[in-house]
Amino acid sequence: MPGWSCLVTGAGGFLGQRIIHMLVQEKDLEEIRVLDKVFRPETRKEFFNLKTNTKVSVLEGDILDSQYLRRACQGISVVIHTAAVIDVSGVIPRQTMLDVNLKGTKNLLEACVQASVPVFIFTSTIDVAGPNSYKDIVLDGHEEDQHESTWSDPYPYSKKMAEKAVLAANGCTLRNGGTLHTCALRPMCIYGERSPFLYNTVIRALKNKGIIDAISKFSRANPVYVDNVAWAHILAARGLRDPKKSPSIQGQFYYISDDTPHQSYDDLRYTLSKEWGLRLDSSWSLPLPLLYWLAFLLETVSFLLRPVYNYRPPFNRHLVTVLNSMFAFSYKKAQQDLGYEPCVTWEEAKQKTSEWIGTLVEQHKETMNSKTQ
């Protein structure tokens, strides 16, 4: 395969940064364009200091700016689209999420057509598959099962509709007469160093005498380590660029998991942080059906108050369902079509993530000591 170039959106994010670090090791990759709305200074510095012969171009721009996207896509061979607004608790306005996650994806697809980019890889999410009820049990799900979220909440809805747009665009004619090839990857809940989900968990616990909120004791899931998700994106890019592999991948979606043991999200957070003295809240909690209907009540109150007061419930039915369902998926199809095998074992992932959590604990101690002096 000849020299190629890649644009990665959401490049300053948790997953985007890992994809960049793997991409620079790819043979014949001549240029990476890293795109995000705003880069933190340390992230920008990290990209500039990458030890690689590949040209790294740092682009700051809005995914809603169609003209900017078209310029960013000029001369590009592969687009990896990870940029998204992730929010399952109702903090971010619905329209913002629809604009970025759905309209932004459509803008990028159109930019690829106009700039004749032949390969488009979309970072989707397990949320587009469900779960739709905490009573549903899926412990070895497959792509053929056709699971689909029925939630109208902005995150699962916007990602589901964006994924549909990406897969429907497969086979589109490009401006130069070529053909657009697309696929989508659906990672499980992603963990690892710098995970915003874990960072918030640890900071809250440290402010609460080391006690981790027990919010998902009824769940059984298979979380996936961030490097393994990044690796799946590299393999998808290779596959769609390879004339032999590409036909079986085009227009397909893939669940991306690894060999992390099936467990509750609470157990995962405890396992990764127990070495540093953090522990799960052992106090009594509401039964799951009661918690669900309490969420419904709080959503109703929020709806009724909306004309006069913007009340945001601490949790909603979607969040209760996602965090307390038995919902796990196999990576067998990605293994068959992409040649995907997790590049980091559970033991390695656990050690690396735990060590990072240890740095957060030490930083917290130093901060507290400086305040008392």
CB-count exposure of residue 142 (10 Å: 0-12, 13-18, 19+): middle
**Alpha helix segments (H runs only) across 128-251:** 154-168, 196-206, 226-241, 246-249
- Interatomic CA distance for residues 327 and 63, integer angstroms: 32
- CB < 8 Å & 24+ apart, contacts of 29-32: 29/3, 29/4, 29/5, 29/54, 30/3, 30/4, 30/5, 30/54, 30/55, 31/5, 31/6, 31/55, 31/56, 31/57, 32/5, 32/6, 32/7, 32/8, 32/56, 32/57
Question: Measured in whole angstroms, how far is the alpha carbon of residue 266 from the centre of its chain?
Answer: 19
- Interatomic CA distance for residues 208 and 273, integer angstroms: 14
Active-site residue, 191 included: no
Residue appearing with tokens 């697809």 = 109
Question: Catalytic one among 155, 157, 292, 340?
Answer: 155
C-alpha to C-alpha distances, 68 to 37, 80, 283, nearest whole angstrom: 11, 17, 52
Q: Quick one: which of 133, 335, 329, 125 has its CA closest to 248?
A: 335
127: DSSP letter: G
Q: Count CA atoms within 13 Å of residue 132 on its CB side.
A: 10
Instruction: Specify which residues 59 forms β-bridges with.
Output: 35
Q: Which residues of 228-246 are buried (b: 16+ CB within 10 A; e: fewer)?
A: bbbbbbbbbbbbbbeeebb
The catalytic residues are 155
